[in-house]
Structure 1
Amino acid sequence: MPVRPIRLSPAAATDLRKIRQYTVEQWGHEQWLRYSDELDRRFEQLSKNPALGPVRDEIRPGLRSAPMGSHIVWYRMRVEDLEIVRVLHATMDPKMRL
C-alpha cells in the first residue's frame, strides 16, 4: 500500500502546540522531544497503513482513531492524503470536540 502524505488540520496543529506546552511545563523539553518522536512514528505508521485504526462513524462519518500514549489520534483517509483531524487526550469526550 502506498504511503499517503500526512496533513494536519488547523485544530490538530493547535492540539499539538498545547500538548507541547503542557509537556514541557510538566516534564521538561527532553520528554517533549521523546513524545514528539513517538507521535511522528505513529503518524508515519498510519500513513503507511491508514486502515489500522477502527472506523468511528458513531463520532463522525469516515473518522478513525488510533491510540498514542495518553492521546487518541483522530484521522481520516482521503484520496490525496491522510488528514490528522485532532489529537485529543484519551479522557476528552470526542463527541464534544470533533
Structure 2
Amino acid sequence: MSKHTLSAIAEEDLIQIYVEGATSFGLEQARRYHQKLFQVFQFLAENPKAAPIRPQLKTEIRVHPVESHIILYKVRKQDILVLRIRHAHEDWLNH
C-alpha cells in the first residue's frame, strides 16, 4: 500500500492551510509546508500503522502530528483515507 486519498473535507482543510500559510508566512513557506504535508501523506501510505489508533474516537482513526497540525486518517485495504487535517491546538475531537 502506498496510496493516499483525501476526503472532500480534508481537501478543504488543505486549501485553508495553504491560504492561511500564504497570508501569514508568504507563498514560498506555504508551498514548502504543502509539500511537507504531501510527503507525510506518502509516508503514512507506506507505513499505515505508524500512528496509533485513538480509542476515544468512534472508528479506527489514527492521528499523526505534523508540525502545528495533525492528520486524522483511516487505513483501508487499498490506501489510507485522510479524513481531516486540523490544527493541533483545536478541539478536533468535537469537530
TM-score between both structures, scaled by the size of structure 2: 0.95
| Conserved 8 A contact 1:59-1:94 | no
SS of the residue 1:57 aligns to: coil
Distance (whole Å) between structure 2 residues aligned to residue 76 and residue 92 of structure 1: 20
Give the letter for the 1:95 counterpart.
L
Q: Report the counterpart of residue 50 of structure 2 in structure 1.
A: 52
Q: Residue 31 in 1 paired to residue 68 in 2?
A: no
Identity of aligned residues (%): 32
Q: Which runs of 5+ in 1 are unaligned?
A: none
Q: Report the counterpart of residue 74 of structure 2 in structure 1.
A: 76
**Among residues 20, 38, 41, which one is paired with 2:39 in the alignment?**
41
SS of the residue 2:49 aligns to: helix
Deviates more, 1:54-63 or 1:10-19: 54-63
Deviation per CA, 1:23-69, whole angstroms, max 9, x where unpaired? 00001100011101110111110000000001012123210000001
Q: Report the counterpart of residue 67 of structure 1 in structure 2.
A: 65
TM-score between both structures, scaled by the size of structure 1: 0.92
Q: Report the counterpart of residue 86 of structure 1 in structure 2.
A: 84
Give the letter for the 1:6 counterpart.
H
- CA deviation after TM superposition for structure 1 residue 17, in Å: 0.6
Give the letter for the 1:85 counterpart.
L
- CA deviation after TM superposition for structure 1 residue 81, in Å: 1.4
**Which stretches of structure 1, 4 residues or more, deviate above 2 A after TM superposition?**
none
Distance (whole Å) between structure 2 residues aligned to residue 57 and residue 63 of structure 1: 8
Q: Which runs of 5+ in 2 are unaligned?
A: none
